[in-house]
Amino acid sequence: MTGFDAERWQAEAIVRVEAALEARFHDVWPDRFGLALRYPLFTGGKRFRPLLVMAACEAVGGDPSAALPAAVAVELVHTYSLVHDDLPCMDDDDERRGMPTVHRAFDEATAVLVGDALLTEAFVALSEVSLPAIRLLAVASGAAGMVGGQAGDIARVTSLEALERVHALKTGALIAAATEIGGLVGGADPGQRALLQAFGRDVGLGFQLADDVLDADEALDPDGPPSFVRFLGVSETRARAIALGEQAIAGIAAMPRPGALQALARLAVARAR
């Protein structure tokens, strides 16, 4: 799109997403639990997934503001997954985004409840949209999506094919759901929805490939978790990420207003910390 200001679009969309998230979880009892619920939502995340929802809505000609409840729902699911992934029984991480993880800032039991509440609230938010949107997010969040991917991750896969399957579920499923849900809100026809789903799958895998490049030192550690860099090397991993981004961008080029969504694809595959 000629003259499209991607940075301005993203900044304005983030303000709207932040405001919508701020409106959640007021007057939660006990007070400490309310603090814990809000804590992981405001630790510096890039809001990539909710922006995808809004950009996909705009890409098919819809008003991105109409997609805010769906954008919030996707961010709540993403945040819940991070809270649970950080737990001692999973990745046992002490920090995320330079801050103590929820189970370190509060305690392990509270972190479990925070994740449960964030996931549940996502479907409260999405109930403002439509039943098909609820189904899309539920499938992407469960055994056929993120949860299944996490199960594969903790099993420590030993082949490139299995690793691709893990991340198609753990990372790609929610991203593909985000773009398809955004399109659904924007009035996408079946062909556009299929293109948005394919876009999300490409961007999801490209996002993970780029993430492994950023974590190349850890990825090459023989005692570390499986990674694309370990199987492919840094150069090939980076090249595949860029190629997937280009494929995603080309796939939605004919949509009415693809500029924001294309910019997010570029950001996903060529990013820095």
Our measurement of the distance from residue 1's CA atom to the centroid of its chain's CA atoms, rounded to an integer in Å, reads 25
What are the structural domains, with CATH classification, of the chain? 6-269 (1.10.600.10)
C-alpha span between 45 and 40 (Å, rounded): 9
pLDDT the model gives residue 178: 98
pLDDT the model gives residue 1: 44
C-alpha span between 233 and 199 (Å, rounded): 25
Q: Tens place of pLDDT for every residue, the chain, 273 residues?
A: 456 899 999 999 999 999 999 999 888 999 999 999 999 999 988 999 999 999 999 999 999 999 999 999 999 999 999 999 999 999 999 999 899 999 999 999 999 999 999 999 999 999 999 999 999 999 999 999 999 999 999 888 899 999 999 999 999 999 999 999 999 999 999 999 999 999 999 999 999 999 999 988 776 677 777 899 999 999 999 999 999 999 999 999 999 999 999 999 999 998 754
- Which of 79, 74, 78 lies closest to 182, judged by CA? 74
Sign for the CA dihedral angle at 151, 153, 156, 159 comes to positive
pTM score, whole prediction: 0.95
